[in-house]
C-alpha cells in the first residue's frame, strides 16, 4: 500500500508562476492518471524514474524518487534502474541521476 504523497516544494515554488499547470497536476495528473487501474503506482514510479533519467531531468528526479520509495520501489531497484539506463540513456544521464538519488537516500536515513 502506498503512502499519501506530500506536495513537493518544487510545485509550491512555481505555483505563483504557473498556477493552472499546478492545478492540472493536482486535479488531473495525480488523482486520475496515477490512479488508473492498468498499472500500479509502483509500476508507474518505475516507469517515471526511468523516463526522467532517459530525458535527463534531474530536477524532477528528486521528487519522483521520493514518490517511488513511498510507492514501494526499493533503493536497490532504483539503483538497478540507473545502471540499466546507463546503457540506454547514456552514462552522463545515469551519473547525474545517481547524484540526485544519493541525496534522496541520504535524506531518508537522516
98 and 52 Cβ atoms separated by less than 8 Å: no
Domains and CATH numbers, the chain: 8-38 (no CATH), 40-110 (1.20.1290.10)
pLDDT band at 2 (very low <50, low <70, confident <90, very high): very low
Of the listed ranges 15-19, 20-24, 100-104, 106-110, the least confidently predicted one is 106-110
How do residues 57-77 score in pLDDT, each as one tens digit?
999 999 999 999 999 999 999
**pTM for this prediction:** 0.86
In sequence order, the 6+-apart residues with CB closer than 8 A to the CB of 80 are none
Q: Looking only at Cα atoms, what is the longest distance across the chain?
A: 39
Amino acid at each position: 500500500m502506498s503512502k499519501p504523497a506530500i506536495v513537493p516544494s518544487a510545485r509550491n515554488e512555481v505555483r505563483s508562476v504557473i498556477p493552472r499547470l499546478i492545478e492540472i497536476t493536482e486535479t488531473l495528473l495525480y488523482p486520475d492518471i496515477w490512479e488508473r487501474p492498468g498499472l500500479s503506482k509502483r509500476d508507474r514510479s518505475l516507469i517515471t524514474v526511468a523516463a526522467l533519467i532517459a530525458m535527463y531531468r534531474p530536477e524532477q528526479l528528486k521528487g519522483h524518487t521520493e514518490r517511488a520509495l513511498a510507492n514501494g520501489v526499493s533503493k536497490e531497484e532504483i539503483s538497478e534502474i540507473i545502471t540499466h539506463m546507463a546503457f540506454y540513456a547514456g552514462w552522463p544521464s545515469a551519473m547525474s541521476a545517481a547524484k540526485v538519488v544519493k541525496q534522496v537516500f541520504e535524506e531518508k536515513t537522516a
